[in-house]
Amino acid sequence: MNRFPFPQDFFKNAVHGVLVGIAFMVCPAYALETYPSKSVRVIAAFPPGGFVDLGARVVSVALGAGLGQSFVVDNKPGAGGIVGTEVAAHAAPDGYTLIVGSVGTHAVNQSLYKKLPYHVTNDFSPVTRLADAPSILAVHPSLPVKNVLGLIRLARERPKQILYASAGSGTSTHLAAVLFENLAGIQLVHVPYKGGGPAIVDVLSGQVPVTFGTAASVSAHTKNNQLRALAVTAGQRSMVLPDLPTMAESGLPGYEMLNWLGLFAPAHTSQAIIERLNQEAMRVLRLSEVRERLNAAGAEPSALETKAFVLFAQQEVLKWSKVVSNTRMSAD
């Protein structure tokens, strides 16, 4: 009779897990040769259909094909990406839980929220930047504006009356609108949603007439005239949307907001695994079919070596902490 309230293999499996963990730490070559030996979970901290989700799926499929194991996207939305990001931060640092983070989850939120259940610099190991994309300032056709200056004039005539939808407090879509309000000297009304997908539904209905949606969630609706695109938020025109002017070209000099996606692992993940993932991600992001799929989602590949991405991620946290402070941006 088993005298312990555990399965008979419990201690054998526990010892095996400890030995494997030690091997990963003291023998990088072992980690590199055996990883991945099972499916990998890739967390997207937003609902299906938005920029983060689409980017995560494109890259995960390509990584899985290249590394011979399934990379399965797991949507964990909520609280502007905090719910899913917390799950990833507290996951085992074995390379089998990763997260596709964004400028919102891995830069803005650190200073936007007074209390986070993780620290984006201390609790994550950056792997590589994946893609960049501008947001699009778009309005429902029922709103009587044709361009950026027209929206500014209307907002001055109707202070605190015009609603805008975002994918959630602290997301790139929220940040883009806050910068717009600050530089234009206007006040809009923020309506946060649990992701870009739910937000765009109410914008399409006209219930919330303005959004700084990602190209992935907005561009298809502007092509069929369900929404009117006014400008892109990047500092220069997008290769994906070359005919759409920038905010600066549209009469708001100094405006620039770029979405980015990056692949992160929990802190203390083996450097051998980080390097393996980086090398494979950089390879697949050069593939024409991956580029085409990202372009279709309104994004462009932007891979970086791990060291360069670590520096970039640190600079982004510092940059947006200053923006949050200067604009008195709030997650409320």
Residue 243 lies in a domain: yes
CATH of the domain at 107: 3.40.190.150
Domain identity same for 71 and 145: no
Residue 1 lies in a domain: no
Residue 232 lies in a domain: yes
pLDDT exceeds cutoff 70 at 184: yes
d(CA 305, CA 189): 40
Among candidate residues 258, 288, 309, the one where a domain is terminated = 258
Q: How confident is the model at residue 328 (pLDDT cuts 50, 70, 90)?
A: confident
Residue 269 lies in a domain: yes
Domain identity same for 49 and 183: no
- Which residue did the predictor score with more confidence, 171 or 59? 59
pLDDT tens, residue by residue, 25-53: 555 555 556 899 999 999 999 988 878 99
Q: How far is CA 108 from CA 11, 72, 144, 319, in A?
A: 43, 26, 32, 9
Bridge partners (DSSP) listed for residue 101? 262
The answer to whether the bond into 36 is cis (omega within 30° of 0) is yes
Segments forming the whole domain that contains residue 173: 134-258
Residue 5 lies in a domain: no
Confidence (pLDDT) at 22: 56
- Which residue did the predictor score with more confidence, 274 or 322? 274
Determine phi and psi for 71, rounding to 5 degrees.
-110, 105
For residue 199, give the nearest of 227, 161, 157, 238 by alpha carbon: 227
Confidence (pLDDT) at 223: 86
Among candidate residues 258, 290, 306, the one where a domain is terminated = 258
Domain identity same for 151 and 249: yes
Confidence (pLDDT) at 28: 53
Domain identity same for 254 and 264: no
Domain identity same for 16 and 85: yes
CATH of the domain at 238: 3.40.190.10
Q: Which residues contact 6 (CB under 8 A, 6 or more apart)?
A: none
Domain identity same for 206 and 218: yes
Three-class DSSP category at 174: helix
Residue 117 lies in a domain: yes
Domain identity same for 315 and 171: no
Among candidate residues 237, 258, 279, the one where a domain is terminated = 258
pLDDT tens, residue by residue, 125-158: 999 999 998 889 999 999 999 999 999 999 999 9
Domain identity same for 159 and 231: yes
pLDDT exceeds cutoff 70 at 161: yes
Confidence (pLDDT) at 168: 82
Confidence (pLDDT) at 1: 42
pTM: 0.76
pLDDT tens, residue by residue, 276-323: 999 999 999 999 999 999 988 778 899 999 999 999 999 999 988 988
Question: Structurally, how many domains does the chain consist of?
Answer: 2
Average pLDDT, rounded, for the chain: 88
